[in-house]
């Protein structure tokens, strides 16, 4: 009798071994494939580090070239180094896309292994349940009578306890495998979102680089590659900017400040988020700055804060809100005003302006959250170099107008406000 019971367990064990061997791909083959993917991911990480170092070197060269930005050759050198840096950025993004694709493949392999494990555990669970069911069909007395000694009976009880213990372990394994599968699938979806984001970033980088190539061609056409013509171009732009500032000053002086200041949020850190990734460097403060005292801004002072930002740096919305308007003053009068700009209204009764952009990512009516990517920094409009101009307004005080400039002879769209409507952004950041 005991021999028959043992035989049944031996048969069960053999069946279980066959079940494990037949499930999924052989473990060594799958492990080898995953190891190969991991090696490729490590190689991509090394490549990304090298490319990022290249981009950093080009940015250093741009900073050096900016010391002679007031010469034609200096400006061309800046543009050339910017194109090279953007090319390095594009290669970095391509490498990150390849890495993300490999990571998705690796997760796919892990999911396959986990699903194989679940299949095996389900088979084990079924075999154990059948084994217990067969034992439970016999009445206790009949079970006892099958054994010719008390020792053999207790041995059989131990075997039963072992089967029940294995059943509990299999259930625990299944629960763990299912949790792992859920986590792996969640990570895969996150990687797919990352991949989609990288694809959009790549398209943006290519667009910004194309803009730099166009700017280079335009500059050479306008100056005929002659320093004298370039200096005249700078002088004309400065003269137009000063004349336009005077026109805008007169417009804003005629505006009545009718907003309720009590509706503005109290000054304090964190009312607005920083519009650029860390680290943040301020190159010009709000108000009566040294540059303003030198004759800029028609004597009104600087109406915002300038941040250092290499061409193509991500620009984020400082708070949730709705894009009221976007524009590009260069379309009407180049090198004299904000260039590409975005104005966003916020529920806290502030509005924020982002200017001198290279590429806008939002349009009028779009809703954004704090930290939403809305644009990339640049040097459009009147800018001595790439940076982000950031202004805070009392929302009720700022309006967007279509203005026919006397100095430019064209209609440009831009935001204006009475002087009291301009707020110091640093009071809220």
Look at residue 362 in the predicted model and tell me its pLDDT: 98
42 with 114: CB under 8 angstroms? no
> Can you read off the two tokens belonging to residue 361?
């990512």
How many Cα atoms are found within 13 Å in the side-chain-facing hemisphere of 409? 0
User: Which residue shows structure tokens 């990339």?
Assistant: 376
Look at residue 132 in the predicted model and tell me its pLDDT: 64
Look at residue 397 in the predicted model and tell me its pLDDT: 95
214 with 321: CB under 8 angstroms? no
Look at residue 126 in the predicted model and tell me its pLDDT: 75
- Residues contacting residue 153 through CB under 8 Å, at least 6 positions apart: 144, 147
> Can you read off the two tokens belonging to residue 62?
């741009």
Look at residue 53 in the predicted model and tell me its pLDDT: 95
Look at residue 302 in the predicted model and tell me its pLDDT: 85
Look at residue 169 in the predicted model and tell me its pLDDT: 79
- Residues contacting residue 85 through CB under 8 Å, at least 6 positions apart: 55, 58, 59, 62, 310, 311
- Residues contacting residue 325 through CB under 8 Å, at least 6 positions apart: 342, 343, 364, 400, 413, 415
Q: DSSP assignment of 161-200, as one string?
A: HHHHHHHHHHHHHHHHHHHHHHHHHHHHHHHHHHHHHHHH
Look at residue 208 in the predicted model and tell me its pLDDT: 97
> Can you read off the two tokens belonging to residue 235?
């002088």
Domains of the chain: 2-219 (no CATH), 232-427 (2.70.70.10)
Look at residue 135 in the predicted model and tell me its pLDDT: 60
How many Cα atoms are found within 13 Å in the side-chain-facing hemisphere of 355? 24
Give pLDDT tens digits along the chain (429 positions). Answer: 344 444 444 444 444 443 444 444 445 676 777 889 999 999 999 999 999 999 999 999 998 888 888 899 999 999 999 999 999 999 999 999 999 999 999 998 888 888 888 888 777 777 767 766 666 555 555 555 565 565 665 565 566 566 667 677 777 877 888 888 889 889 999 999 999 999 999 999 999 999 999 999 999 999 999 999 999 999 999 899 989 988 998 899 888 888 888 999 999 999 999 999 999 999 999 987 766 656 556 567 789 999 999 999 999 999 999 999 999 999 999 999 999 999 999 999 999 999 999 999 999 999 999 999 999 999 999 998 899 999 999 999 999 999 999 988 999 999 999 999 999 999 999
Say how far residue 142 (Cα) sits from the centre of its chain. 70
């Amino acid at each position: 009798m005991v021999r028959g019971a043992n035989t049944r367990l031996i048969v069960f064990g053999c069946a279980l071994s066959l079940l494990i061997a037949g499930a999924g791909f052989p473990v060594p083959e799958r492990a080898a494939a995953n190891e190969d993917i991991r090696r490729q991911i490590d190689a991509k990480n090394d490549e990304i580090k090298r490319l990022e170092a290249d981009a950093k070197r080009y940015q250093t060269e741009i900073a050096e070239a900016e010391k002679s930005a007031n010469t034609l050759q200096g400006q061309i050198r800046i543009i050339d180094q910017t194109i090279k840096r953007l090319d390095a950025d594009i290669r970095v993004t391509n490498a990150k896309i390849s890495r993300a694709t490999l990571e998705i493949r690796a997760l796919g392999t892990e999911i396959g292994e986990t699903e194989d494990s679940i299949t095996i555990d389900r088979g084990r669970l079924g075999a154990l349940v059948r084994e217990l069911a067969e034992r439970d069909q016999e009445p206790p007395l009949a079970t006892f009578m099958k054994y010719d000694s008390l020792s053999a009976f207790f041995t059989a009880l131990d075997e039963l306890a072992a089967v029940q213990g294995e059943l509990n372990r299999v259930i625990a394994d299944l629960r763990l495998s299912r949790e792992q599968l859920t986590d792996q699938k969640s990570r895969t979806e996150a990687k797919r979102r990352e991949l989609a984001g990288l694809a959009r970033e790549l398209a943006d980088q290519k667009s910004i680089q194309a803009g730099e190539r166009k700017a280079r061609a335009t500059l050479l056409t306008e100056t005929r590659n002659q320093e004298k013509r370039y200096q005249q171009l700078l002088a004309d732009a400065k003269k137009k900017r000063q004349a336009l500032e005077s026109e805008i000053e007169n417009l804003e002086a005629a505006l009545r400040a009718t907003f309720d200041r009590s509706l503005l949020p109290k000054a304090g850190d964190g009312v607005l988020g920083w519009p650029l990734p860390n680290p943040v460097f301020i190159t010009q403060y709000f108000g009566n700055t040294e540059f303003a005292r030198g004759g800029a801004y028609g004597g009104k002072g600087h109406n915002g804060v300038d941040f250092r930002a290499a061409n193509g740096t991500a620009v984020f919305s400082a708070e949730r809100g709705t894009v009221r308007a976007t524009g590009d003053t260069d379309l009407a009068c180049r090198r004299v005003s904000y260039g590409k700009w975005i104005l966003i209204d916020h529920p806290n009764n502030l509005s924020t302006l982002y200017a001198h952009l290279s590429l806008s990512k939002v349009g009028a009516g779009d809703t954004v959250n704090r930290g939403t990517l809305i644009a990339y920094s640049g040097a459009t409009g009147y800018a001595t170099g790439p940076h982000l101009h950031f202004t805070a307004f009392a929302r009720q005080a700022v309006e967007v107008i279509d203005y026919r400039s006397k100095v430019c002879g064209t209609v440009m769209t831009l935001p204006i406000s009475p002087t009291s409507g301009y707020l110091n952004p640093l009071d809220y950041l």
